[in-house]
Structure 1
Amino acid sequence: MFRPRPATLRDIEEAALALPEVTREPEAGGRPAFQVRGASFVFARGPRKDAYDPQTGVLYEDVLAFRCTAEDKQAMVSDPHSPWFTTPHWNGYNAVLLLERDLGRLTAAEIREVVTDAWLVRAPKRLAKAWLAGDEGQSG
């Protein structure tokens, strides 16, 4: 029986860098942020007081943020079994959070879809439209 491969950080990087006009900040090493024309769509966050383990109170050090639509955010965080979450600090901000340690709860295909959707939210409309049409060379 075929079992889908669990997602890894490498899947995020490969998915992001396969999209048009994406840069990785910093270029190598460190916790990444992926941008399209300077707009971040997937990025790693350092520890912050709004994201902590509810059992221990210890700040999460492995938070990843993915831009999304408001509708997608609601759907992703509403399932109590989902690895996606948000915090009060992110209320009104169209992004979902994921702990790196929970990446394996998603498949490689699922994380590629979320990365692509995040890019589509942040990419300039013409670039996104051209890419969706399979003609990224005409992005202007």
Structure 2
Amino acid sequence: MPSWAEVVAMASELPEVEESTWFRTPSLKVAGKGFARLRAEAEGGLVLMCALEEKEALLASGDPAYYTTPHYDGYGAILVDLAAVDPDQLRELIEESWRRKAPAKLRKAHEQGSVWR
């Protein structure tokens, strides 16, 4: 089971990631924009940004690691159960969430400069 510290470590491999708070809970930001948040209202739950189509696919997969609540209906964010998620899949979702919030110039520099892992 990945911990918040492991989420931070995975995300910190990406450029310009900073630890912060978002809605008074631990979060990760890039260029001042939140892309990951630990949910205080659900122990072990992590909010990650994603496309609505990806969210629908993750929920339709039946994998218990992915869920949502009515609060997130129609919003491009997936809730991830850290106790159930595959660490490799989590890494991919963290990077995708980062890409959704990182400035275009930073994304481009990252894509051209290094392979993440």
Task: Identify the TM-score tier after normalising by the shorter chain.
Answer: 0.7 to 0.9
Cα distance between partner residues in 2 of 1:61 and 1:11: 15
Runs of 4+ in 1 over 6 A off after TM superposition: none
Q: For residues 105-124 of structure 1, what are the structure 2 equivalents within 5 Å?
A: 105-124=84-103
State TM-score, norm by structure 1. Answer: 0.70
SS state of the match for residue 18, structure 1? coil
Residue 5 (structure 2) aligns with: 10
What runs of 5+ residues in structure 2 fail to find an aligned partner? Answer: none
1:66 partnered with 2:48: yes
Aligned-residue offset at 1:113 = 1.0
Given that 2:10 and 2:91 are in contact with CA atoms closer than 8 Å, whether structure 1 keeps it comes out as yes
When the two chains are superposed, the root-mean-square deviation of aligned CA atoms in Å is 2.0
1:41 partnered with 2:35: yes
Equivalent position amino acid for 2:15 in 1 = P
Equivalent position amino acid for 1:90 in 2 = Y
Q: For residues 11-30 of structure 1, what are the structure 2 equivalents within 5 Å?
A: 11-25=6-20
Given that 1:67 and 1:118 are in contact with CA atoms closer than 8 Å, whether structure 2 keeps it comes out as yes
What runs of 5+ residues in structure 1 fail to find an aligned partner? Answer: 1-5, 48-59, 136-140
Aligned-residue offset at 1:31 = 4.9
State TM-score, norm by structure 2. Answer: 0.82
Cα distance between partner residues in 2 of 1:46 and 1:106: 18
Equivalent position amino acid for 1:115 in 2 = I
Cα distance between partner residues in 2 of 1:122 and 1:65: 13
2:57 to 75, 80, 85: 75
Give CA-to-partner distance per residue, 1:5-45, whole Å, 9 cap, x none.
Answer: x544333111111111110015xxx9520000110001112
Given that 1:11 and 1:111 are in contact with CA atoms closer than 8 Å, whether structure 2 keeps it comes out as no
- Distance change >3 Å, CA 61–CA 11, structure 1 → 2: closer
Structure 1 or 2: larger strand share? Answer: 2
Residue 77 (structure 2) aligns with: 95
Given that 2:4 and 2:38 are in contact with CA atoms closer than 8 Å, whether structure 1 keeps it comes out as no
Equivalent position amino acid for 1:21 in 2 = E
Corresponding pairs, count: 112
